[in-house]
Amino acid sequence: MKNLILSIVLLTFFTGCMETGVPYPGDVSNLIFQSEYTNYAWGYNHNGWMMDNTGKIRSFQKSTLWVFPDSLGYISEVDMQKNLGICDATETQISAAEFAIYAEKVRTCVTGTLTKPENKMADAGEHIWAFYYYEPGGKRYKRVILNMTGDWSQENLAPNAKEIVDWMMKIK
């Protein structure tokens, strides 16, 4: 009887530790980097680029069909594919070796603490540097903000976040 109770307690404990989505474990097969600018002042402006796991960079400009992540940073796999489909043809290609270097660096950023959002400007919009990792259990992507500037500013304090943003800023 004691073994049965112990088994039930352990099973309950381990089940409670399981999640439908596991934080980015290092699998880069569905990792996506994104640089995105949005501004609603003086007319709508939305542009930027997305980089898939092959290092291909595709731009986007003022798409009304764009699907933004929800308030928790999630976007479904289907909606992410829609967004990638809206993007223009490949502009630039990052080497597999370079992609791998920065894909490894994002591991520390998944659990990085974000600074409190600070209102810095007015009518400047927002520029967000982020990456998305895939959660197969929920068939969705999770956005991790590395840095946000503009009307509101926020920074991921993880050790590699600034280095990744500096790298992303050089990509056009």
| pLDDT category of residue 21 using cuts at 50, 70 and 90 | very low
Let me know: does 156 contact 114? Beta carbons within 8 Å.
Answer: yes
Q: In terms of residue numbers, what domain contains 14? A: 2-169
Question: Helix or strand or coil: residue 162?
Answer: helix
Return the higher-pLDDT residue of 42 and 70. Answer: 70
Residue 54 corresponds to which tokens in the numbers above? 């092959």
Q: What is the DSSP letter of 1?
A: -
Q: Give residue 23's pLDDT.
A: 54
Residue reference for tokens 């007319």: 43
pLDDT tens digits, one per residue of 29-67: 789 999 999 998 888 899 999 999 999 999 999 877 899
| pLDDT category of residue 5 using cuts at 50, 70 and 90 | very low
Q: Give residue 31's pLDDT.
A: 95
Q: What is the DSSP letter of 108?
A: G
Residue 24 has pLDDT above 70, yes or no: no
Q: Give residue 7's pLDDT.
A: 41
As a three-state string, the secondary structure of 20-77 is: CCCCCCCCCCCCEEEEEEEECCCCCEEEEEEECCCCEEEEEECCCCCCCCCCCCEEEH
Q: Give residue 64's pLDDT.
A: 78
Q: Give residue 91's pLDDT.
A: 67
CA–CA separation, 148 vs 120, rounded Å? 11
Return the higher-pLDDT residue of 116 and 9. Answer: 116
Q: Give residue 29's pLDDT.
A: 77
Q: What is the pTM of this model?
A: 0.83
Tally of structural domains, the chain: 1
pLDDT tens digits, one per residue of 75-130: 999 999 999 999 987 768 999 999 999 999 999 999 999 999 999 888 989 999 99
Q: Give residue 17's pLDDT.
A: 36
Residue 131 corresponds to which tokens in the numbers above? 């990456």
